[in-house]
């Protein structure tokens, strides 16, 4: 008999997934949807974090697989989801976890630039100093830029 209440997809599973983090394209934790992740997630301690816009995995599958290698991954859409909720959630995540680095994978379209703005604001609010990199993917799947983000 299970004592779990609520949606099983909202249960954080970091240690339960046994695949090595270094295997490209393999998740080491669940959930990955920003809306579903809690603000205290043990698998984020001492992690290199990749926050990817939803479309990137489909627009540039090989690049997505490459950029997620060795990183903890969270995904979402800065246009369709609530940006202020993301700012608050990431501020708490960054405050509660010792994130080593933050990479942002986003599409070239203007609305997707919101992901960078959200994360820049969350880093500022958290008071943390960490390297932040933005990787921009073209709508045809090509990598356009990869550059540091000033916070």
Tell me phi and psi for residue 31, to 5 degrees.
-80, 170
What b/e string do you get for 124-142 counting C-beta neighbours within 10 Å, with b at 16 or more? eebebeeebebbbbeeeee
Please compute the mean of the pLDDT values over residues 118-141 and round it to a whole number. 97
Question: What's the CATH fold of domain 14-148?
Answer: Rossmann fold (3.40.50)
pLDDT digits (tens, 9 = 90+) for 58-103: 999 888 888 998 999 999 999 999 999 999 999 999 999 999 999 9
pLDDT digits (tens, 9 = 90+) for 11-59: 555 544 444 444 556 788 999 999 999 999 999 999 999 999 999 999 9
pLDDT for 13 equals 56
Distance CA 123, CA 68 (A): 20
Tell me phi and psi for residue 132, to 5 degrees.
-125, 130
Q: How far is CA 2 from CA 36, 63, 64, 137, in A?
A: 21, 40, 36, 43
The domain ranges of the chain are 14-148
User: Could you tell me the pTM of the whole model?
Assistant: 0.85
CB-based burial of residue 48 (10 Å sphere; 0-12 exposed, 13-18 middle, 19+ buried)?
middle
pLDDT for 64 equals 86
């Amino acid at each position: 008999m299970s004592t779990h209440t609520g949606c099983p997809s909202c249960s954080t599973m970091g240690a339960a997934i046994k695949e090595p983090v270094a295997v490209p394209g393999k998740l080491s934790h669940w959930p990955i949807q920003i809306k579903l992740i809690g603000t205290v997630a043990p698998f984020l301690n001492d992690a290199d974090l990749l926050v990817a816009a939803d479309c990137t995995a489909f627009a540039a599958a090989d690049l997505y697989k490459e950029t997620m290698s060795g990183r903890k991954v969270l995904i979402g859409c800065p246009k369709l989801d609530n940006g202020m909720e993301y700012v608050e959630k990431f501020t708490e995540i960054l405050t509660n976890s010792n994130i080593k680095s933050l990479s942002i994978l986003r599409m070239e379209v203007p609305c997707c630039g919101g992901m960078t703005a959200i994360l820049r604001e969350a880093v500022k609010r958290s008071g943390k100093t960490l390297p932040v990199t933005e990787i921009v993917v073209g709508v045809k799947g090509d990598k356009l830029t990869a550059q540091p983000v000033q916070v």
